[in-house]
Structure 1
Amino acid sequence: MMAAHAHSVMSPRAKRNSSVETLRILAMLMIVTSHCVMFTNLDALTLPFGVNKVLIETFLYSGGKIGVVAFFAISAWYLSEAGGVRAGLRRVWILEREMLFWSIILLAITVVVDRSQLGLTLAVGSLFPTVTGLWWYPTAYAVFLLFFPFLVRGLRALDRSAHAALCVVMLVLFTGLDMVMPLSAVGLPGGNYLSFVYIYVLITYYRWHMRPMKTATVWWSLGIGYLMIAVGAVAAGVLFEKTGRLQVLQVYLGKVEFRLPVLMIGLALFVLFERHEFHSAVVNTVASSTFGVYLISEYPTVRQWLWQNPLIDFAALAARYPLLLIPSLIGIAVLVFLACTALDQIRELLFHITIDRHRGRWFDRLSAAVNAALANRKETV
């Protein structure tokens, strides 16, 4: 009774499973750390072959796409019980508000701070961030949201065997062929909504038709996935060290969200965190700003200011103090994450006292007006 009462008086934010929200934070930290590795002056793929290089390629570089899978898996899990065209459009509307806020604010800051970075592409992209793909993830997610009401109805119409067959077909075409025939013309391009459709099909099959995985199985999946990436990094690292060619093979297995090791790790992380439950308003508050962290840190000019900053010289650090390289990469990523979180909390406060007082009301009014207009048209016909 006490537990039930405690749950009933929690705030809406505290009611969210903080274990899953912890994964949301971890996933975004992995994404930011990966960007720190890729976009600073550290050329990780040309570092001298050794433990440091393999660890960076296995855990930090590949962490970006693993984080994407884990981050999207959270949304896919909850969307697997949702549906309706209106619900999908409403989510896109709410997503667009946050994107527009940051794109316009950051465009204005660019105009004031560094006008040399301003161009027509950035200006138009900032005014229309979704359709121009200013940020790839929210654009892909918005398109996915438009498709998902129809997708979930179609998947619900399939029985277990048909859904399983669909998963097998997608696994063979999009993951299997990609592993053995990298230039296959039937694979996914990566970095768009089709990857989310693929992951959603896998997530819904697991949720609707499978028994929960045993914890030992989840850990095995996690370990084998990282082992595959590490073996690929070592083998390709030796090849590159000897020949100076094919350096991209060192991170091939962790470079795209639909590759087998990335799927294994990302989905295993989600299953591992989802099966536990605790409630923390602090964790959930930080997690609520993870999308904002992505928008701020990945805005084109901010990305350049952050990772091309002359004060951040990871190349020199790698040459002089290689043992400090990994802690420094993670440390800088954590600082960026915290700074962007603090900024997005200000945005949340502004939204709370303005447009979120009646969250989605403008969309509801527009939707009602459209429905009324359609109803009147039917009556006149």
Structure 2
Amino acid sequence: MENTEIDSKINMVERKIGRSSNLELLRIFAIVMIIAHHYSVHGGWDIPNELSYNRIIVQLISLGGKLGVNCFILITGYFMINSKFNIKKFSKIIGQVFFYSVAIMLVFKLFGISHIGIRETAKSFFPIIFSKYWFATTYVELYILSPYLNKLINYCTEKEYQRLLIILIIILSVIPTFTNSLPGIDNLPWFVFLYLVASYIRKYQYNFFDRRKLLLLIFIGSYMLIMISVVIIDLFALKIPDFPFDPTFLREMNSLPMFICSISLFLYFKKLDMGSKKIINNISSTTFGIYLIHDNNLVRSYLWEHIAKNNSFYNSRWLSLHAIVTISLVFFICMIIEGVRINFIEKPAMKFWDKEIESKFLNKSRNYIDRAFSQHISN
């Protein structure tokens, strides 16, 4: 049976019983790792230049963020290979980013939490253009490119596709990893590469992708390698002045160990057989909103430095507990806020879209374009 036939049957089943929750659970896991990463990198830590237990803890907490980002894009590529550009979905993404960008700016301005100048106001009203959220901007760019990427994927033979992926991983991951130039890669090329990888997995179903125990071992092994590298490089960096490697350089999303880690975790979750769980799918639908709330540039420092007061726990034996509680609270509070937005703003807005914009404007526009095109062909 052709893969397209398999996918159509899968899509038909998902429409009847609901989307399978395995990759939705991965989305939840990914956003928790991203929150933990932000707890570490935006904590305003005053870390002394000495090796300590809490220093290692702070560094280790940061490792999962880029893993979470990779997983989000892999999920996107996996599902979008068989999808078309959807103006409604595109508008929903733009609207969601715009809503939180403007709403948070207004809250901070009205309550005097932070000084909001003209530049920040402009960035808040045009968050995608000004890259107020780097992930959201790059994701939108990827979404715009997705129809063309899908054409490329369908045009290539399997051998050509494999060669393309090999070339890209060498350029974007292998060389930067071994030359210590990982942060030098732009986000969009890496997102495109992950999209192509996930699409390949969806298009060509190999038995290797089904070996869950092996995938779990690969994930644990690669993640342990990244963790161990933190401690080893820390030891060298503290003793050798101007040591060229940052202790957490392998946490970059395009490092080779992180790529292996991301792929193995994605494939492991892909093979989980858990059916459709409404609660998981509902929580998963809030993950992008959770990101937009807690990693807004106005919220970021205020949250981790003034509310959570991360740095005050650096020398405390309760640092690990503080991290767990804080990350959990951020997740659940942002989830509730996003749930309220979905039910009271997004759903009514989408009903209005279907009734007024889709039926009255877009359909008429499509019909007009179709008639004009038909007349042009006949002439």
Judged with a 3 Å threshold, the aligned counterparts in structure 2 of structure 1 residues 320 and 334 are, in CA distance, closer, same or farther, namely closer
1:112-127 to 2 correspondences below 5 Å: 112-114=110-112, 116-127=114-125
Judged with a 3 Å threshold, the aligned counterparts in structure 2 of structure 1 residues 52 and 272 are, in CA distance, closer, same or farther, namely farther
Residue from 35, 42, 66 that aligns with 1:32: 35
Match of 2:77 in 1: 76
In 2, the alpha carbon distance for the partners of 1:107 and 1:53 equals 33
Q: Which amino acid aligns with 2:268?
A: L
In 2, the alpha carbon distance for the partners of 1:35 and 1:193 equals 21
Name the SS of the counterpart of 2:185 in structure 1: coil
In 1, the alpha carbon distance for the partners of 2:129 and 2:16 equals 31
Moved more, 160-169 or 111-120: 111-120
Contact 2:222 2:260 survives alignment (8 Å): yes
Residue from 302, 308, 313 that aligns with 1:312: 308
Structure 1 residue 258 and structure 2 residue 254: aligned? yes
Q: Which amino acid aligns with 2:203?
A: W
Match of 1:282 in 2: 279
Contact 2:172 2:190 survives alignment (8 Å): no
Structure 1 residue 217 and structure 2 residue 211: aligned? no
Match of 1:3 in 2: none
In 2, the alpha carbon distance for the partners of 1:41 and 1:257 equals 22
Q: Which amino acid aligns with 1:207?
A: R
In 2, the alpha carbon distance for the partners of 1:198 and 1:41 equals 33
Judged with a 3 Å threshold, the aligned counterparts in structure 2 of structure 1 residues 302 and 74 are, in CA distance, closer, same or farther, namely same
Name the SS of the counterpart of 2:129 in structure 1: helix
1:312: how far off? Answer: 3.1
In 2, the alpha carbon distance for the partners of 1:183 and 1:100 equals 33
Structure 1 residue 339 and structure 2 residue 341: aligned? no
Judged with a 3 Å threshold, the aligned counterparts in structure 2 of structure 1 residues 278 and 49 are, in CA distance, closer, same or farther, namely farther
1:132: how far off? Answer: 1.6
Contact 1:103 1:127 survives alignment (8 Å): yes
In 2, the alpha carbon distance for the partners of 1:247 and 1:313 equals 31
Structure 1 residue 348 and structure 2 residue 342: aligned? yes
Q: Which amino acid aligns with 2:78?
A: W
Q: TM-score scaled by structure 2?
A: 0.86
Residue from 93, 96, 104 that aligns with 1:106: 104
RMSD between aligned residues: 2.7
Deviations 1:63-85 (A, max 9, x none): 110010112222221112223xx
Match of 2:296 in 1: 299
1:364: how far off? Answer: 6.2
Deviations 1:178-204 (A, max 9, x none): 0122349xx9624x3222101011112
1:368: how far off? Answer: 3.2
Contact 1:144 1:196 survives alignment (8 Å): yes
Contact 1:94 1:360 survives alignment (8 Å): no
Contact 1:253 1:259 survives alignment (8 Å): yes
1:17: how far off? Answer: 1.9
1:375: how far off? Answer: 4.5
Contact 1:104 1:127 survives alignment (8 Å): yes
1:247: how far off? Answer: 8.0
Contact 1:30 1:64 survives alignment (8 Å): yes
In 1, the alpha carbon distance for the partners of 2:65 and 2:16 equals 27
In 2, the alpha carbon distance for the partners of 1:110 and 1:145 equals 31
Structure 1 outlier segments of 4+, above 6 Å: 10-14
Residue from 312, 319, 340 that aligns with 1:325: 319
Percent identity over the alignment? 19
Q: Which amino acid aligns with 1:168?
A: I
In 1, the alpha carbon distance for the partners of 2:301 and 2:81 equals 37
Q: Which amino acid aligns with 2:344?
A: L
Q: Which amino acid aligns with 1:336?
A: V
Residue from 259, 265, 269 that aligns with 2:265: 269
Match of 1:57 in 2: 59
In 2, the alpha carbon distance for the partners of 1:181 and 1:342 equals 43
Structure 1 residue 227 and structure 2 residue 221: aligned? no
The number of equivalent residue pairs is 360
Contact 1:232 1:249 survives alignment (8 Å): no
Contact 2:237 2:245 survives alignment (8 Å): no
Q: Which amino acid aligns with 2:103?
A: I
Q: Which amino acid aligns with 2:59?
A: E
In 2, the alpha carbon distance for the partners of 1:107 and 1:352 equals 19
Judged with a 3 Å threshold, the aligned counterparts in structure 2 of structure 1 residues 109 and 199 are, in CA distance, closer, same or farther, namely same
Match of 1:6 in 2: none
Deviations 1:137-174 (A, max 9, x none): 11111111111111111111111111110111011111
Judged with a 3 Å threshold, the aligned counterparts in structure 2 of structure 1 residues 57 and 345 are, in CA distance, closer, same or farther, namely same
1:52: how far off? Answer: 4.5
Judged with a 3 Å threshold, the aligned counterparts in structure 2 of structure 1 residues 360 and 30 are, in CA distance, closer, same or farther, namely farther
Contact 1:236 1:247 survives alignment (8 Å): no
Contact 1:40 1:307 survives alignment (8 Å): yes
1:282: how far off? Answer: 1.7
In 2, the alpha carbon distance for the partners of 1:21 and 1:156 equals 26
Contact 1:117 1:301 survives alignment (8 Å): no
Name the SS of the counterpart of 1:329 in structure 2: helix
Structure 1 residue 19 and structure 2 residue 51: aligned? no
In 2, the alpha carbon distance for the partners of 1:356 and 1:248 equals 49
In 2, the alpha carbon distance for the partners of 1:104 and 1:369 equals 32
Contact 1:293 1:337 survives alignment (8 Å): yes
